[in-house]
Amino acid sequence: MKKKSIFTLCACLAVCLALLWLLQALLMPKYMGSVKEGALIGEYYDNAGNNDVVFIGDCEVYENFSPITMWEEYGITSIIRGSPQQLIWQSYYLMEETFQYETPKVMVFNVLSMKYDTPQSTGDQTQREAYNRMTLDGMRWSGSKWNSIQASMTEEEKQWQGQWSYLFPLLRYHDRWSQLTGEDFQYLFKKDQVSDNGYLMQTGVKPFEDEHIQPPLVDYTFGENSYYYLDKMVELCKQHGTQLVLIKAPSLYPVWWDEWDQQMVEYAEKHGLLYVNLLEKQEEIGIDWSQDTYDAGLHLNVYGAEKLASYFGKILVEECGVADHRGDAEISTVWAEKVKTYYQRKEALQAQS
């Protein structure tokens, strides 16, 4: 009798847990339709393992560089670990996690996020929390993820002991049941790849016309916390024998102040790093701001991203000695598939726009 009741209890518990897991999967945002950016971080794992170059950073990496072009032109295997408004500590922990899956020759980090010193300094906290989710929910479980969560939580998230809701996202998305759409059911178990090795393609064109301006700042010095994580990145890459390259993508907005640039130049010099401010190379890259941007200069569209990849690939080959893998049959087969998907996507998007 007792044995039977214990069995019933265990069986019921197992069923309940399974149902809760299913419920959680259903309620979590899928990021397949309009907010594709949220799916990027999770897509890394299927493409991890053999990349010589890993880009890490915010929208200025995942919108501006096309890894497929770098493969086609230079045989460079690269991937982007980007997410919207990725903060520097999130980049650091993504970098740390990347080394669990592969040891690339070069890590490329976009330095725009140096301007945010703490989760609180990023402005609106509701948006901040949503951005945190997009970067953190997609990560697989690891110490890096846990540390990234601890470093990223907003005050409100801390107040709710938000770390538990990262562990059990059901606790965060519990009230989404009233907003479920077909997408949530369609992608319950299997999601589509929305990116091409982390690159989120845009084919629209919205020319740059008027200069975007921002008011001058009281203080241009980057925060201590930002430098703390940048130092950690330098140290981490050194440990793994990976070259760290700092870049500022050629996006025209948010404004990249000269005072900021100067600090990065000095930092790179001091640590013997390569720092490339691509804003200064616009002509060499050949960006045509009437054609190569989909949002008036904030981000490049696919035409701009291909030009930038073509330009930056050369730097990777010439200054970092990244190898050409087009001769390797196994790698070529994998990448041929990626190239095919890329052009199919490009065609489909072009047809839409």
Partner 1 sequence: MQITSFGFLLFAAVLLVAYYLIPKKGQWILLLAASYCFYLWAGIEYLGFILLTTVSTYAATMAMAANQEKQAKYLAENKQTLSREERKAYKAKGKRVNRVYLIACLVLNFGILAVCKALLIEPFKAAASAGTFSFLSLGLPLGISFYMFQSMGYAVDVYRQTCAAEKNPLKLALFVSFFPQLIQGPISKFGQLAPQLYSPKKFDGKQLSFGLQRMLWGYFKKLVIADRIAAAVITLRGPEHTGVSFFILTVFYAVQIYGDFTGGIDVTVGLAQALGIKLPENFIRPYFSKNIAEYWRRWHISLGEWMKDYIFYPISVSQPMLKLSKAARKNLGAFGKRLPVYVASIATWFVTGIWHGLTPNFVLWGMLNCFFIVLSEECSGLYEKFHGRFHLKEKKWYGGFEIARMFILMNLIRIVDLFPNVGDYFSRIGSLFTKFNFHVLWDGTMMKLGLTALDYIILAGGIVLMFTISLIQEKKGSIRELLWQKNPVVRYALIFALLVIVLLMGNYGVGYNASAFIYNAF
Partner 2 sequence: MKRLIAFFGILCMVVGFAACSTPQTTDIKGTTPNVGNPGDPNAYYFNYKGTDIRLNGDMEVVLNALGEPKNYTEETSCAFEGLDKTYTYDSFVIQTYPKGEKDYVYAFWFLDDLVKTPEGVKIGDTQAAVEAAYGAEGYNGRNAYILKKDTYSMTIIQNDGAVSSIQYTITIG
* Cα 199 from Cα 208, distance rounded (Å): 22
Per CB under 8 A, which of residues 178..207 are in contact with partner 1?
Answer: 178
* Cα 225 from Cα 175, distance rounded (Å): 34
* Cα 280 from Cα 248, distance rounded (Å): 9
Per CB under 8 A, which of residues 121..140 are in contact with partner 2?
Answer: 123-127, 130-131, 133-134
* Token pair for 238: 């050194």
- The reply on whether position 291 binds partner 2 by CB under 8 A is no
Which one of 3, 189, 190, 213 is in contact with partner 2 (CB under 8 A)? 213
Q: Which is nearer to partner 1, 45 or 164 (CB)?
A: 164
Per CB under 8 A, which of residues 105..124 are in contact with partner 2?
Answer: 120, 123-124
Give the 3-state secondary structure of residue 90.
Answer: helix
- The reply on whether position 35 binds partner 2 by CB under 8 A is yes
Residue 14 exposed, middle or buried by CB count within 10 Å (0-12, 13-18, 19+): exposed
| # chain residues binding partner 2, by CB under 8 A | 37
Q: Which is nearer to partner 2, 51 or 86 (CB)?
A: 86
CB 107 within 8 A of CB 242: yes
| Residue 8 contacts which entry, partner 1, partner 2, none (Cβ below 5-8 A, type-dependent) | partner 1
CB of 130 to partner 1, least distance (A): 10
Torsion angle, alpha carbons of 287, 292, 293, 297, to 10: 20
Which one of 101, 146, 160, 289 is in contact with partner 1 (CB under 8 A)? 160
For CA atoms 333, 335, 340, 341, the dihedral sign is positive
Element (H, E) at 343: helix 329-352
Q: Which DSSP string corresponds to 160-184?
A: TTTHHHHHSTHHHHGGGGGG--HHH
- The reply on whether position 128 binds partner 1 by CB under 8 A is no
* Cα 198 from Cα 317, distance rounded (Å): 20
- The label of the residue with tokens 């959680």 reads 24
Stretch of 161-169, 177-185, 263-271, 322-330 contacting partner 2, by CB under 8 A: 177-185
Q: Which is nearer to partner 2, 21 or 177 (CB)?
A: 177
- The reply on whether position 183 binds partner 2 by CB under 8 A is no
CB of 114 to partner 1, least distance (A): 27
Binding residues for partner 2, per CB under 8 A? 29, 34-35, 37-38, 58-59, 84-85, 120, 123-127, 130-131, 133-134, 176-180, 209-213, 215-216, 218-219, 253, 295-296, 298
Binding residues for partner 1, per CB under 8 A? 5, 8-9, 12, 16, 19-20, 23, 126, 129, 156-157, 159-162, 164-165, 170-172, 174-175, 177-178
